Amino acid sequence: MPTMRDRFMNVSGALLDERPDLAIVLADIGFGYFAGAGVVARHPGRVLNVGIREQLLIGFAAGLAMEGFRPIVHTYAPFLVERPFEQVKLDFGHQGLGAVFVSVGASYDAAAAGRTHQAPEDVALMSTLPGWRVHVPGHPDEVEAVLRSTVADRGLDYIRLAESVNPQAVPSSGGLMPIRRGSARAATVIAVGPSLAPVLEATADLDATVLYASTVRPFEGETLRTLLGAPEVVLVEPYLAGTSSAEVSAALKDAPHRLLALGVARQEHRRYGSRWEHDRAHGLDAAGIRRSVTDFLASAA
Amino acid sequence: MQPPVMSYEDLPALMTLMTGDEKHGHASESTLDVLWVLYARVLKVDPQAPDDPERDRFLLSKGHGPMAYYAVLAATGFIPPDALPTFGRYDSMLGQHPDRALIPGVELSSGSLGHGLPIAAGVAAALDLQGRAGPRVFCLVGDAELDEGSNHEAIALAGRLGLSRLTACVIDNGSSTHGWPGGIDARFRLEGWSAATVDGRDHDAVESAVTADHQDRPHVVVAEVERRG
């Protein structure tokens, strides 16, 4: 199956053909693809490579946005969000400008590359900034849908691509999508992006309502509030554990509930290997999620 | 370009409206003369049409000490002089750093140093892409502000891209902690910029330098003023 990144690059290249106000801004990473696919040759001025200069990547893109361009800004997550975070905060939000940021690498897709190329904190950081919508697609089809919709808008969008994908896409509603309905007394499990596949496997024989989110900011809490059965809520996010806990609490502020927030642990995990091994280490594979969920539900009994 | 509503001689009194100090010398603000020359003699901007797409863009990156900027904006009709006494108040449009969302004609919200030049490079590139022949892009930075590495990312790229509509004005009051051995202008020249160094209090020299032909290269004018005490 083509990866999310493949789809992003194909679609953004096609969008450049359609939209004269669109520009792709890069810091080396990804430029080879756009050159190889002929996109640079077709639009030499609108695939802009600033070199390995990530502060400039953001500021330069903001300058384009200031003059009416809709920039798509792309690089590895730690170099897009963490290294130039003040530029993200001031050059876009504070200036009142819009952009589509697209990251690759997710929490630890580059597991063997070590900590420098891992960014489990990206969604938490972006969530501190007002106005940003944060998208965590779980399938290449979802990437195309969210890319097309955000490019057509003028706001602030962060799209987080990952190598882990779900077998099937979920049509986006912009909010929480019920994937499986449990009984009236079922616990609720919220799966974000690529977490859906292991969540469905982990809860296959449990009485649980499974909700899916591919857009986590803003967090759509009404569906959760409406479908809440038992007070037990499990939040499974493929990045820093608890990133959306406050949003769940706000959605259920008048409903007694207990929350288990699963995700990437806060301590640094000094291991290389593969993303699957890191999923296992953080309890985010199907077996780990099942273990956490069943323990949590048993503690409620 | 509209003629200034007031004159250079009015600027100290306008600054007094903000500070309450009885007297303001022109030298009290390092940026004052360059700002005045830009707005009174160089920039094609119109307070009646601050969003005209054909206007020149001016980005004040050195947002610290904006009283000179506000005085010039008042003297040239962008903001009413009676707004100046509100400087720094809770409900004022005029903060200690300028905000483009609040002040007509202000292109950049600044304060944190090192943001203006990268954005100005993007603005210049965007205007190139749009094929607009007229607008020029000016960005004012301080010599100490150049300590921020983000500026050097922008200086390098602007030189490589040949962003010829971009002019950086560096106010050099010697406040960079570790200085610039070889001179500030040399740093820009090395990256392919055209460069000039002038007396930052000499209006004719500043005007001549910022309007000098620099062909297919970005341009920097280092405006030297009194050393910071």
pLDDT for residue A172:
80
- Please report whether residue B2 resides in a domain: no
Q: By the 8 A CB rule, do B187 and B159 touch?
A: no
The verdict on A227 and A273 lying in the same domain is yes
Same domain, A156 and A181: no
Distance from the Cα of A4 to chain B's closest Cα (Å) equals 28
* Domain encompassing residue B113: 8-224
Closest chain A C-alpha to B100 CA, distance in angstroms? 7
Instruction: Let me know whether A150 and A185 are in one domain.
Output: no
Give how far A46 is from chain B: nearest CA, Å. 8
- Per the domain annotation, does A169 fall within a domain? no
Mind giving me the DSSP string for A183-242? -TT-EEEEEEGGGHHHHHHHTTTS-EEEEEESEEES---HHHHHH--SSEEEEEEEEETT
Kind of pairing between the strands at A70-76 and A99-104:
parallel
In a domain, B3, yes or no: no
Mutate which of A52, A64, A67, A69 to disrupt the B interface (most B C-beta within 10 Å)?
A67
**What end-to-end distance do the CA atoms of chain B give, in Å?**
36
In a domain, A108, yes or no: yes
What residues in A contact B154, CB-CB < 8 Å? 56, 59-60
Task: Select from B100, B109, B125 the Cβ nearest to the Cβ of A63.
Answer: B125
Residue A201 phi, psi dihedral angles, 5° rounding: -65, -40
A171 lies in some domain: no
pLDDT in tens, chain B (229 residues): 566 789 999 999 999 999 877 666 666 789 999 999 999 999 999 999 999 999 999 999 999 879 999 999 999 999 999 999 999 999 999 999 999 999 999 999 999 999 999 999 999 999 999 999 999 999 999 999 999 999 999 999 999 999 999 999 999 999 999 999 999 999 999 999 999 999 999 999 999 999 999 989 999 999 999 998 6
Structure ipTM: 0.96
Q: Residue B201: which CATH number?
A: 3.40.50.970
In whole angstroms, give the CA distance from residue A293 to residue A208. Answer: 10
Q: Find the CATH number of the domain harbouring A83.
A: 3.40.50.970
- The verdict on a CB contact (< 8 Å) between B126 and A69 is yes
Sheet holding B219-224, edge to edge: B57-60, B137-142, B166-172, B219-224, B194-199
Query: Chain A residue with minimal CA distance to B52?
Result: A67
Looking at the structure, do residues A217 and A253 belong to the same domain, yes or no? yes
Q: How far apart are CA A275 and CA A213, in angstroms?
A: 21
Interface size, chain A vs chain B, as Cβ–Cβ contacts under 8 Å: 90
Residues A152, A181, single domain; the answer is no
B156/A53 CB distance under 8 A: yes
pLDDT digits (tens, 9 = 90+) for A146-162: 999 999 999 999 999 99
Pair A156, A8 in one domain: yes
- Give me the residues of chain A with pLDDT under 50, please: none
Does residue A244 share a domain with residue A136? Answer: no
CATH number at residue A266: 3.40.50.920
Count up the domains in chain A and report the number: 2
Q: Which residue of A has its CA nearest to B55?
A: A67
Alpha carbon distance B69, A2 (integer Å): 54
B30: in domain: yes
Residues A108 and A184 in one domain: no
Which residue does chain A place closest to B100, by CA atoms? Answer: A95
Q: Of the candidates B109, B115, B156, which has its C-beta nearest A59's C-beta? A: B115
Measuring CA to CA, how many Å separate B14 from each of B5, B86, B87? 13, 12, 11
- The pLDDT assigned to B24 comes to 66
Structural domain boundaries enclosing A9: 4-160
In this structure, are A30 and A144 located in the same domain?
yes
Distance from CA of A86 to the nearest CA of B (A): 9
**How many domains are there within chain B?**
1
Beta bridge partners of A100: A72, A157
B116 belongs to a structural domain: yes
